[in-house]
Amino acid sequence: MADAERRIGLAMDFSPSSKNALKWAMENVVRKGDHLILITIRPEAHYEKGEMQLWEVTGSPFIPLSDLSDPAVMKKYGVKQHDPEIVDIVAAGAKQKEVQVLMKIYWGDPREKLCEAIDAIPLTCIIVGNRGLGKLKRAIMGSVSNYVVNNASCPVTVVKHHHD
């Protein structure tokens, strides 16, 4: 794959740690010609009919940057948490660095779905935020970033979140 065709994945759950990872990626990794793909994982739900039932298996279609700030589009995909600052960071970075930004939404366990996305899209690398759980919480709850680092089929960068 040529450098001009890099597909950089970024795990986006709209938390402070994923926003921090986005800022870091824009400053340190993303460059002209890249595709930045924001990957959002929603809780698994059971849909009886329509598009959502299809998307549960394959993930949503790619959502262009222009649709990320449209509440109706985000509602269609079940994305309720929406941070306008994230859209602003992405839009400014896309314009400044001349990158294409897309979002893809999956449903299910974030650990498994992020690893599936790496191969399905396919991604050149993935960047994930780290909530900074202590050892005990991480042992009980499990760490998404730790799982991805150990199971991903591409390079993984974990951006630690520093609490203020």
For the chain, what are the domain ranges?
A: 3-160
* pTM as predicted: 0.86
Reply yes or no on whether the pLDDT at 46 is more than 70.
no
Rounded Cα gap, residues 163 and 11, in angstroms: 19
Vertex 43, ends 162 and 99: CA angle to 5°? 60
At 57 the pLDDT is: 74
Q: Answer whether 68's CB lies under 8 Å from 83's CB.
A: no
At 164 the pLDDT is: 53
- Is CATH 3.40.50.620 the right assignment for the domain spanning 3-160? yes
Rounded Cα gap, residues 18 and 9, in angstroms: 12
Q: Answer whether 110's CB lies under 8 Å from 144's CB.
A: yes
pLDDT bracket for residue 68 (50, 70, 90): confident
Reply yes or no on whether the pLDDT at 136 is more than 80.
no
pLDDT bracket for residue 135 (50, 70, 90): low
